[in-house]
């Protein structure tokens, strides 16, 4: 079936938005005025001028994959999508029993191309062993990498959804993935679901919907449809701290002059939102070790508005690079979806009760330096899930350690999966 989404495109600034970024360097303004075809090259050229950088967590991001469409998909809110499109990729082969499946869920700005961001874990004799398992990775419902999202055309109007895109919850995203797995791919049972950050929230939701006493999905023998789960660097719900960090990023986008009249062009606000996110994903120690108080040039003032801090250049580059692959409306809607995360909503009175109803084995991974999803949240999960264990990833990279500490993550996943039939 042909996709209903327009291809991911570049968003060019108008002169109005350009005037709003007068504080940036003239070199960067020249890049912003460049035609889209030249932007990627100039970003790479600018990157070499920025000096020290932190290790990047993502590879080449595309919308490639296969497409599943669920018609008249009813959302948790009661609204519905006439055509809910889900982009996905598979790796490895399904066995005769159709039960050797591992589902891997991506984070906020990821995609279905598992090889692009967790490539060291994918392949023969690796954590996601393609000789043993069929690995399925889906693009989140609402994301701009192939699934139905704010850029998609609303069949009822013939125009893009834009800001009218309906509210999607994590429950909705997982429900659509389960429809793909059970109805389209005819999977009899899922061995494990693994995910970090927003992917971890999906993993927790999978555990509730397909691995608990309050779930809706079971195998033919009556056992839970999902046999195990590995949530990484997340909680059982989004806390006030995490909602606040999401909200201030959204406020940066709302403050862009283009948000009201042409929201897909509110890319200045999106750049700032991304910069905020990049701070929360790391640690004070990591930033100090990499950048300190270093300046880009000996000729720059030592302080003040004209000082060219290395860390400033790094954040500006991250923001500029991000608008090359994401749009403001999708970012707002996906952060709102993260804020919906609460496994107890409409199920139990407390989170502890919801966690206690998860029947399947769980390996919870937390990062000791994570300030965004602190270790206390993983400890809370492990304390209430009956068949759970907690493993700690030692890292100086903060929240992004789930992407960057691939050796540690892989070791814990392999050891856990070896205990699951």
Token pair of 209 as six digits: 């919907």
Q: What is the DSSP letter of 183?
A: I
| Rounded-to-integer distance, Cα 69 and Cα 83, Å | 6
| Catalytic annotation, residues | 197, 370, 399
Contact present, 77 and 158 (Cβ < 8 Å): no
Q: What is the DSSP letter of 309?
A: B
| Rounded-to-integer distance, Cα 412 and Cα 365, Å | 8
Token pair of 393 as six digits: 């990833």
Residue 235 CB: number of other CB atoms within 10 A?
25
| Rounded-to-integer distance, Cα 350 and Cα 214, Å | 14
User: How far, in Å, are 88, 215, 313, 338 from residue 169 at the CA level?
Assistant: 19, 17, 35, 7
Q: Strands, E, within 75-173: which ranges?
A: 80-91, 101-105, 134-138
Q: Distance of alpha carbon 19 from its chain centroid, rounded?
A: 31
The DSSP bridge partners found for residue 90 are 136
């Amino acid at each position: 079936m042909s996709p209903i989404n327009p291809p991911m495109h570049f968003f060019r600034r108008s002169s109005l938005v350009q005037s709003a970024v007068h504080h940036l360097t003239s070199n960067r303004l020249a890049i912003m005025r460049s035609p889209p075809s030249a932007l990627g090259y100039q970003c790479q050229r600018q990157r070499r001028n920025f000096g020290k950088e932190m290790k990047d967590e993502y590879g080449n991001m595309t919308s490639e994959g296969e497409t599943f469409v669920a018609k008249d998909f009813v959302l948790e809110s009661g609204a519905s999508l006439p055509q809910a499109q889900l982009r996905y990729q598979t790796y490895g082969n399904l066995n005769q029993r159709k039960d050797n499946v591992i589902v891997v869920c991506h984070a906020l700005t990821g995609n279905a191309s598992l090889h692009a961001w967790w490539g060291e874990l994918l392949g023969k004799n690796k954590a996601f062993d393609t000789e043993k398992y069929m690995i399925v990775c889906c693009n989140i419902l609402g994301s701009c990498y192939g699934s139905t999202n704010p850029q998609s055309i609303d069949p009822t109007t013939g125009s893009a959804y834009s800001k009218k895109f309906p509210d999607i919850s994590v429950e909705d995203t997982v429900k659509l993935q389960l429809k793909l797995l059970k109805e389209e791919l005819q999977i009899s049972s899922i061995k494990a679901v693994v995910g970090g950050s927003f992917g971890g929230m999906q993993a927790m939701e999978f555990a509730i919907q397909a691995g608990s006493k309050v779930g809706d999905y079971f195998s033919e023998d009556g056992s839970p449809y999902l046999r195990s789960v590995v949530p990484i660097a997340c909680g059982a719900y989004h806390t006030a701290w995490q909602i606040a960090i999401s909200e201030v990023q959204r406020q940066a986008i709302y403050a862009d002059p283009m948000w009201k009249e042409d929201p897909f062009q509110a890319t200045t606000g999106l750049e700032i939102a991304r910069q905020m996110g990049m701070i929360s994903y790391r640690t004070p120690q990591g930033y100090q070790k990499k950048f300190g108080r270093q300046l880009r040039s000996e000729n720059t003032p030592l302080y003040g508005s004209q000082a060219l801090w290395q860390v400033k250049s790094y954040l500006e580059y991250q923001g500029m690079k991000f608008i090359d692959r994401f749009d403001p409306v999708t970012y707002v809607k996906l952060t709102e979806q993260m804020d919906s995360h609460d496994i107890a909503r409409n199920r139990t009175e407390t989170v502890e009760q919801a966690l206690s109803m998860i029947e399947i084995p769980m390996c919870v991974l937390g990062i000791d330096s994570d300030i965004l999803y602190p270790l206390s949240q993983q400890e809370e999960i492990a304390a209430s899930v009956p068949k759970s264990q907690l493993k700690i990833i030692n890292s100086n990279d903060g929240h992004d350690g789930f992407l960057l500490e691939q050796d540690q993550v892989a070791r814990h996943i392999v050891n856990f999966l070896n205990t699951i039939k």
